[in-house]
């Protein structure tokens, strides 16, 4: 029983001694950390407002704000550690060795971060642009160090690792996307009337961009029809709904204009042979 009381007394004495010797250091370190967090958040908010007033790209703004915030917090932690007499040199050396060893095991994630930094600095696209890359297309909603997030017309969130973007061919159509359609008319119809009807139809849609103007003309001479091609720009978020409405309106307008929309047909010629046998000669 006496041994247990002695152990408890030693523990209490050690706790009292620690509080007496290090209480001010602990309180000071906590105060420094709180001040560092408040200063980092305040500075980040101030810089973000300044960048917004200067119309700086939102992706680059968030990246710079994040770097400044991390630097301020790092200084606060270093100063707090100094209150306990702890030097950071051994920690830096240990972190360096750990990072060197871990880099071989996490080359994939690290390559994503490196590619993300390249995207943020070079800015091949920004938030709000419509891009097509790695076989997918959508509006850029956020660019992170590890990945880029797109959203398509259906509201589907598409996450692309940045290493699959850097070094690839990127199609950037800003906020719009081009629509390419074609409608065939018979050879005995007037193409000028069909082109005028299509032009008037496209002009009636607010979603269809006026700059650049829609392009309309004869695209090809097919076997059974003269194909009229038309190209126009629409907001990416309204691509399919505008495409469907325009196609229906163009179909009706071309018919009202007097143009016939043919279907594939085949002419069959029967040639009589002297032997009395018949040969089928077909042509399209």
**Taking a C-beta distance cutoff of 8 angstroms, is the pair 165, 148 a contact?**
yes
pLDDT band at residue 105 using 50, 70 and 90 as cut-offs = very low
**Taking a C-beta distance cutoff of 8 angstroms, is the pair 119, 148 a contact?**
yes
Contacts 24+ apart (CB under 8 A), 127-130: 127/57, 127/58, 127/59, 128/175, 129/172, 129/173, 129/174, 129/175, 130/172, 130/173, 130/174, 130/175, 130/176, 130/177, 130/236
**Taking a C-beta distance cutoff of 8 angstroms, is the pair 124, 169 a contact?**
no
For 72, 101, 108, 253, 265, the CA distances from 96, given in Å and listed in that order, are 21, 9, 19, 70, 75
Please state, in angstroms and rounded to a whole number, the distance separating the CA atoms of residues 75 and 221: 72
- Residue range 156-166: mean pLDDT, rounded: 92
pLDDT in tens, 234-261: 998 888 999 999 999 999 999 999 988 8
Domain limits, the chain: 2-105, 124-172, 176-256
pLDDT number for residue 278: 52
pLDDT number for residue 93: 62
Q: Residue 106: pLDDT above 50?
A: no
CATH number, domain 124-172, options 3.40.50.300, 1.10.3720.10, 3.30.70.330, 2.30.30.60 = 2.30.30.60
Contacts with 39 (C-beta within 8 Å, 6 or more apart), sequence order: 72, 76
Please state, in angstroms and rounded to a whole number, the distance separating the CA atoms of residues 141 and 68: 23
pLDDT in tens, 57-81: 677 777 788 888 888 888 888 777 7
pLDDT number for residue 22: 59
**Taking a C-beta distance cutoff of 8 angstroms, is the pair 186, 261 a contact?**
yes
pLDDT band at residue 112 using 50, 70 and 90 as cut-offs = confident
The class of domain 2-105 in CATH terms is: mainly alpha
Second-level CATH architecture of 176-256: 2-Layer Sandwich (3.30)
Output 91 or 71, whichever has higher pLDDT: 71
What value, to the nearest 5°, has the Cα angle with vertex 199 and ends 197 and 201?
70
pLDDT number for residue 23: 63
């Amino acid at each position: 029983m006496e041994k247990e009381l002695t152990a408890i007394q030693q523990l209490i004495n050690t706790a009292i001694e620690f509080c007496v010797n290090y209480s001010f250091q602990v309180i000071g370190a906590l105060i420094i950390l709180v001040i560092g967090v408040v200063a980092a958040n305040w500075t980040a908010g101030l810089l973000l407002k300044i960048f917004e007033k200067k119309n700086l790209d939102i992706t680059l703004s968030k990246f710079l704000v994040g770097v400044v915030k991390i630097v301020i917090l790092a200084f606060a932690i270093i100063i707090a550690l100094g209150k306990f007499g702890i030097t950071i040199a051994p920690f830096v050396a240990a972190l360096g060795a750990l990072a060197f060893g871990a880099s071989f095991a996490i080359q994939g994630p690290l390559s994503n971060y490196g590619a993300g930094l390249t995207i943020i600095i070079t800015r091949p696209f920004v938030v709000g642009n419509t891009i097509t890359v790695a076989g997918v297309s959508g509006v850029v909603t956020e660019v992170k160090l590890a990945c880029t997030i797109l959203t398509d017309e259906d509201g589907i969130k598409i996450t692309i690792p940045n290493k699959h973007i850097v070094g690839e061919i990127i199609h950037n159509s800003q906020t719009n996307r081009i629509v390419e359609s074609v409608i065939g008319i018979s050879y005995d119809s007037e193409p000028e009337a069909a082109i005028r009807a299509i032009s008037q139809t496209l002009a009636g849609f607010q979603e269809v961009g006026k700059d650049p103007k829609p392009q309309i003309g004869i695209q090809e001479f097919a076997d059974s029809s003269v194909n009229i091609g038309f190209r126009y720009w629409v907001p990416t978020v309204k691509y399919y709904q505008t495409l469907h409405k325009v196609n229906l309106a163009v179909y009706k307008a071309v018919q009202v204009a007097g143009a016939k929309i043919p279907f594939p047909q085949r002419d069959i010629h029967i040639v009589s042979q002297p032997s009395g046998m018949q040969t089928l000669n077909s042509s399209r």
